[in-house]
Chains A and B, each alone.
Chain A
Amino acid sequence: MRFLRLWCVIAVGLLLACPKCMGQEKQKIIIDQDGAGPAGTDQQSILLLVQSPHTDVLGVTIVTGDAWLDEEVAHTLRTLEIVGRSDIPVVPGAGNPLVRQREETLLWEQRYGKITWLGAWTPSVYHAPDFVGNLPEGNPTTKPLDEDAAHFLVRMVRKYPNQVTIYEGGPMTNLALAISLDPEFPSLAKELVFMGGSLNPQTDDPEFTNNPRHEFNLWFDPEASHIVLRANWKKIVCTPVDISVKARLTQGLIDQIRKSSTPTARYIGQFAKVYTYDYMWDELAAAAWLDPSIITKTETRFMDVDIDRGAGYGNVLTWNPSDKPEIAVRPVEIQLDLDTAKLDKLFVDLLSAPTPPKTAP
């Protein structure tokens, strides 16, 4: 009996000594996402972060990218309804990139060659920006926040200085607007983690074989990418195509999740699909932030995006310290290899789990 009491005291002591376990030190994060859906990399990465017991998702800010702003807001609202987390605000952001436009891009393609994936502008899926239609997963009844993304981002880092991770899963338009509104925004954030960019992916995926420096998120809004990558963040972590192509989403993973009957698992089971070149683009960026030991190789380089208007417009530029230009460029931790078994396990475990409730204030 005496030993049992001692064990209880030790266990409670350990628990109290672990702030994360007691839910006191949840990591604040804002997810900026081009929330195409249903399911897919954009929604799945949001879910990974929402499903983690260690995060306090302050909001999901939405940007046009893989799809248009309005439909992405609808998909994201609906996802949060399905998992019972409508307390997390969905904040509409930029409907278009800062400078790049669809018409000009079509002309650019005539001169420089076709781009495989144009997101919302891809001809096979193109529709009017404000068209939403009926969502396969059901139409949302909740509403987005009545504040624009850029102001929300600025307001949050000022409310919680040096505490908020900015997660970027889409084009960087909203972050660039936040920086223009408040040049202190990046330094007041804790860090920037993003899926984007491409150096030299080893793949036969035709999207990259002729242009290894092309990646959709940074390409869609090159000026925003340039504004964000040169800004004075304390830390920047990049999940580029080079590592994305090593993290495949498989039917096996979806089937494992299907064994669970939680709302999240049912949503994934019903709507997740596997395509030919199907990578866990944004999920890996989220998972690696939740558990950095998933990443087995990183390199630090200085990174920027080409904003000249010719063949290289939107391409990634990188340098080492020895060859970097004289203008201010920032060091970026670039993830290059991973432990896929660890990633897969985290992916299945989190998306099978019950959704943690809102953090008590």
Chain B
Amino acid sequence: MILFACLFICTCGWAQGRRKIIIDQDCSGPGGSNLQAPLVLIQSPQVDVLGITVVSGDQWRDEEVAHMLRLLEIIGRTDIPVVPGAAFPLVRNREESILWQKRYGTVAYAGAWDPRWWHEPSVVPALPEGMPATKPSSEDAAHFLVRMVHEYPHEITIYEGGPMTDLALAISIDPQFPSLAKELVFMGGSLNPHTDDPEFTNNPRHEFNFWFDPDAAEIVLRAGWKKIICTPTDISIKTIMTPAMAKEIEAAGTPLARYVARYFQPGPGSDYMWDELAAAAWIDPSLITTQETRFMGVDLGRGAGYGNTLTWTKNDQPAFQRVSVDIQLDLNAPKFYRMFVNLMRAPTPPAN
């Protein structure tokens, strides 16, 4: 009886106060961190996902749009618009990054540019999870982002799980965009991760999302947001998704749960819960046990440091004015895994 009453109160009372969010993501798939993070948000009854804007990063935009559309079909939430964003970073390109790596050293992971799987940007390889039948929005991401924050001023959280190209375009088109959003939460940046992962041992300040489009990241980090929350590599590498978790999720038997389990890939690098943690910590900040506030930027010098994370405290900051960033450094891992598994096992909340 009490449980029923609680559920009743939760669904009635909370439905009215649902937190609005737009997810900007490099939706590489199938499965994996980029798609599991949107699932965390969609599965949460307190969250209203207004749309998913898609940017090239871990894969190319067109194939990512296909993966996202197909996942929404599988879980029965094709009401959520998938809005295509930037196909290329603002300034950096693959050609130049190849020359840069010849001069400064190869990066461990280059996303859509990675020579291990590179293909032409407009090619959408056959999706293992099936090709989508639904279509993306005919509006572009930058326009959608700007339009939404004007429609719901000060209400929308901007969640960024990939390179920041779409957000930078929105800011350039409408400098009011950041101040009309409620806040920015993102996975990106790296300070000093304690790891033997070779991606970071020689360059602790390197992180892919920033590196892929450094100019966009700097444009975004210096803009007039009310609040910025960062989930950096330092905390990402303290998470891991395990085969046991996948099995527990699979047992729920829903299409979503079966999808997550089917496409789960264990192994170094692919099982950090990069973007899922950023999403979960936004829903429940008590997951985070250590946090620091610093000023953050991105190195736009075109040499060895191009794309690296820059940070300062009040004492040593340069002569600029910018919003400080709340940087998450440690978490309650068991609580996070429990929350994640529960959300992946739950029935999907219906559309509004």
What is A's interface to B at a CB cutoff of 8 Å? Answer: 94-96, 98-99, 101, 103-104, 107, 148, 150-151, 173, 176-177, 180-183, 223, 226-227, 307-309, 326-328
CA distance A197 to B24 in the complex (A): 36
**In the bound complex, do residue A223 and residue B99 qualify as a contact, i.e. CB atoms below 8 Å apart?**
no
A180-B86, A181-B142, A308-B301 known; A227+B91 contact, CB < 8 A: yes
Say what secondary structure dominates the interface of chain B.
Answer: loop
CA distance A308 to B299 in the complex (A): 11
Q: Besides the contacts A151-B173, A183-B87, what 18 more A-B pairs have beta carbons closer than 8 Å?
A: A96-B175, A98-B219, A99-B215, A99-B218, A103-B321, A180-B88, A180-B90, A180-B169, A181-B86, A183-B88, A223-B90, A226-B91, A227-B91, A307-B302, A309-B301, A327-B95, A327-B99, A328-B95
Segment 313-338 of B: residues with Cβ below 8 Å from A: 319-321
Residues of A within 8 A of B90 (CB): 98, 176, 180, 223, 227
Residues of B within 8 A of A183 (CB): 87-88
Closest to A306 in B: B302
CA distance A327 to B319 in the complex (A): 35
A103-B320, A107-B319, A227-B91 known; A308+B173 contact, CB < 8 A: no
Q: Taking the complex as formed, is B174 at the interface, i.e. its CB lies under 8 A from any CB of chain A?
A: yes
Q: Taking the complex as formed, is B124 at the interface, i.e. its CB lies under 8 A from any CB of chain A?
A: no
What is B's interface to A at a CB cutoff of 8 Å? Answer: 86-88, 90-91, 95-96, 99, 140, 142-143, 165, 168-169, 172-175, 215, 218-219, 222, 300-303, 319-321
Closest to A99 in B: B215
Residues of A within 8 A of B215 (CB): 98-99, 223
Closest to A308 in B: B302
Closest to A226 in B: B91
Residues of A within 8 A of B175 (CB): 95-96
A99-B300, A307-B302 known; A94+B95 contact, CB < 8 A: no
**In the bound complex, do residue A309 and residue B300 qualify as a contact, i.e. CB atoms below 8 Å apart?**
yes
Closest to A103 in B: B320
Minimum C-beta distance from A192 to chain B (A): 19
Closest to B87 in A: A183
Q: Show 5 residue pairs from A and B whose CB-CB distance is below 8 angstroms, ordered by the A residue.
A: A94-B172, A99-B300, A173-B172, A177-B169, A180-B90
Residues of A within 8 A of B96 (CB): 327
**In the bound complex, do residue A96 and residue B172 qualify as a contact, i.e. CB atoms below 8 Å apart?**
yes
Minimum C-beta distance from A32 to chain B (A): 15
Minimum C-beta distance from B112 to chain A (A): 14
CA distance A268 to B165 in the complex (A): 43
Closest to A149 in B: B173
Minimum C-beta distance from B312 to chain A (A): 15
CA distance A263 to B302 in the complex (A): 51
CA distance A173 to B219 in the complex (A): 14
CA distance A307 to B169 in the complex (A): 19
**In the bound complex, do residue A223 and residue B91 qualify as a contact, i.e. CB atoms below 8 Å apart?**
yes
CA distance A328 to B90 in the complex (A): 16
CA distance A251 to B187 in the complex (A): 60
Residues of B within 8 A of A150 (CB): 173
Closest to B122 in A: A183
**In the bound complex, do residue A99 and residue B174 qualify as a contact, i.e. CB atoms below 8 Å apart?**
no
Residues of A within 8 A of B218 (CB): 99
CA distance A307 to B88 in the complex (A): 18
Residues of B within 8 A of A177 (CB): 169, 172-173
Closest to A230 in B: B93
**In the bound complex, do residue A181 and residue B169 qualify as a contact, i.e. CB atoms below 8 Å apart?**
yes
Centre residue among A98, A103, A177 by max chain B CB count within 10 A: A98
Residues of A within 8 A of B169 (CB): 177, 180-181
**In the bound complex, do residue A148 and residue B91 qualify as a contact, i.e. CB atoms below 8 Å apart?**
no
For the complex of A and B, the 8 pairs showing the least CB-CB separation, nearest first, are: A308-B302, A148-B173, A223-B91, A327-B95, A309-B301, A99-B215, A327-B96, A95-B175
Minimum C-beta distance from B173 to chain A (A): 5
